[in-house]
Amino acid sequence: MTANELPPVEGAPVAPLNIHESAVEGGDHSGEGIWARAWRTLRKNPVAIAGFVIVAVFLVVALLAPLLAPYGAHALPGRGEIRPTLIPGPSAEYPLGLDRYGGDVLSKLIWGARASLLVGVLSTLFGLAGGVALGLLAGWFGGWVDVAAMRLVDLMLSVPSLLLAVSIAAIAGQSPSSVIIAIAVVQVPIFARLLRGSMLAQRGQDYVLAASALGLTRGSVTMSHVLPNSVGPVIVQATLTLATAVIEAAALSFLGLGGGEPSTAEWGRMLTAAQNELAVAPRLAILPGICIAVTALGFTLVGESLREALDPRNRTRR
């Protein structure tokens, strides 16, 4: 054993208490923060890369929909070719065939990506904002505010998520924006509870006591110490929620709560329409279904890898 391989001597500088600057693991990365370390782990993880690629592909398709889609979002170019007993399949002109209404399936899938991702991302952002606000309120003030906020959370979680979403969409009316609101509201209690729990766990940590002992106010301890160290699980949850949100958006529009024409270019809506054509043209159900599943898979893979990368138990093991 050479000198530089010796274990650290007693009395040598110990790792700082703040997780931002902690250097539990040796090597060249001793000064890096938790997020930089997570990023480094993610870049080497094939599962994470697969997830990122899937998400990136769908994002690009959604953003470039006007350029990529052969037909417009509401166009029904093949309307004249539809017969009650015949829905033309793939052809040179319509690579994935037509649907019952005479819409080009490929175009509708591309526009559907835009609709689904928009609903998924916006509802998760709103849900996250609402949940973080509520959780922060509870975690910051504690006492009766905490009790009130958590009872509200319990109340919302006492109704199965889809029913809660349906009830909210019923008030907000049948439109894509009401689907966004409904899914966002359903997520609020989940984020709130998670953030509060994670903040409570941080509150008892030594570095928080040390910061308070140094005379920092409650507000600045919360904002600069407790909150940054509590957001990890919330971010992981948000990534996983993107998957759920895309699926729930499809479910709500499958139930007819998204509004608009039955021929709307939206994955869930396409599945509703395909329901009656299952024996004639199963591809009408299979294609949008695969799109929903693969999008959800992309977000899930990213979220799971992120969870693994941020998990302190995996840090020392390598």
Of 18-26, 140-148, 156-164, 192-200, the segment contacting another protein by CB under 8 A is 156-164
Residue bearing tokens 């819409």? 103
Q: Are 154 and 187 in contact (CB under 8 A)?
A: no
Q: Which is nearer to another protein, 81 or 277 (CB)?
A: 277
Question: CA 187, CA 192: separation in Å to the nearest integer?
Answer: 9
Number of residues interacting with another protein: please give it, by CB under 8 A: 39
Q: Is residue 67 at the binding interface for another protein, with CB under 8 A as the rule?
A: no
Q: Is residue 300 at the binding interface for another protein, with CB under 8 A as the rule?
A: yes
Q: Is residue 151 at the binding interface for another protein, with CB under 8 A as the rule?
A: yes
Site string for another protein, 237-266 (x = CB under 8 A): ------x---x--xx--xxxx---------
Other Cβ atoms less than 10 A from the Cβ of 96: the count is: 17
Q: Is residue 275 at the binding interface for another protein, with CB under 8 A as the rule?
A: yes
Q: Is 86 helix (H, G, I), strand (E, B) or coil?
A: strand
Binding residue (CB under 8 A) for another protein from 15, 159, 201, 209: 159
Site string for another protein, 203-242 (x = CB under 8 A): ----------------------------------------
Q: Is 104 helix (H, G, I), strand (E, B) or coil?
A: strand
Q: Are 61 and 68 in contact (CB under 8 A)?
A: yes
Work out how close the CB of 294 gets to another protein at its nearest, in angstroms, rounded to a whole number: 8
Q: Are 119 and 246 in contact (CB under 8 A)?
A: yes
Q: Are 108 and 116 in contact (CB under 8 A)?
A: no
Q: Are 39 and 308 in contact (CB under 8 A)?
A: no
User: For the chain, first and last CA: distance in Å?
Assistant: 21
Residues that bind another protein (CB under 8 A): 151, 154-155, 157-164, 166-167, 170-171, 173, 243, 247, 250-251, 254-257, 271, 274-275, 278-279, 282, 285-286, 289, 292-294, 296-297, 300
